[in-house]
Amino acid sequence: MENEALSSSDRRDFLVKLTSVVGGAGVAATCVPFVASMNPSSDVLAKAETEVDLSSIPPGGLRTVAWQGKPVFILHRTPEQIKEAAASNGGGDPEPDSKRVKNPEWLVVIGVCTHMGCVPNMEGAGWVCHCHGSQYDDSGRVTRGPAPKNLEVPPYHFVAENKIVIGKA
């Protein structure tokens, strides 16, 4: 009798442990899809980085590309534009040009006005937001109007002399 009681107790302990392991595995298997649903979708990952070939942009030329659903202005600055930008720290939100560019020849900024989110137009020496009158210079710094900040510089890096990747610094 004693062996049968011990055997029943051992069997019960084994079943409790087995049930706990199977239950834990079931909970883990149920959680996997929920955790996976928190990862960014493939269309978001596709927009995370944008590679841009700069060789087709002439000096003084501007190219607009999309990055994360926002326009990004890439300006191939002329020596005169570079000198002008270096000579000033901007107006409303002073910042040296050297802190805004990785290569003085190229300016890369997000083309969204920092006042109300409009897209400014290139006009003469810089950009003008016609919605509310903000103006930005050839370094993307606010020089006039209600915009509180300079045009934002996205994270980017040069992968070759004439190629940049926007999205990872």
Answer whether 0.75 is exceeded by the pTM: no
What residue type is 48 in one-letter code? Answer: A
What the block records as the tokens of 163 is: 């190629």
| Helix H or strand E encompassing 37 | none
Q: How far is CA 28 from CA 19, 23, 37, 38, 159, in A?
A: 14, 9, 15, 16, 42
Parallel, antiparallel, or unpaired for β 163-166 and 156-160?
antiparallel
Question: Choosing from 76, 115, 130, 132, which is the catalytic residue?
Answer: 132
Residues 74-102: tens digit of each pLDDT: 999 999 999 988 888 878 888 998 999 99
The question of whether 132 is a catalytic residue gets the answer: yes
Return the number of other C-beta atoms located less than 10 Å from residue 61's C-beta.
Answer: 14
The architecture (CATH level 2) of 44-166 comes to: 3-layer Sandwich (2.102)
User: pLDDT category, 55, cuts 50, 70, 90?
Assistant: very high
